[in-house]
Structure 1
């Protein structure tokens, strides 16, 4: 998020939203969420404001399930 925010300010090539979603879905939701609010980047996008916490909850749930039953 920090790199994309910096590139946005400098009017340079940006990281695509689909790439950010792939990182989020591959267990990067905590980092994406923290970076989103730390850098105040993508916080106006409703898909990120709702989707990142949902991904985080799913990841925590999967982790709890894994450690409880395996």
Structure 2
């Protein structure tokens, strides 16, 4: 599980169209593409999440299947 938290990580996620899963207390509360961010919040999809209380994880989009 790749957790991102630096500005450079969020910029890369925006540039490469990386799907981000948002967690709060270990539970998924949202996901999507990073639309923007500042020092306090990250906009994922159409929702804004606090950087201080949320965890942002690089994950495969939910519609993708993974053949292991």
TM-score by length of 2: 0.29
Which has the larger Rg? 1
Q: Which has the higher helix share?
A: 1
Higher strand proportion (structure 1 or 2): 2
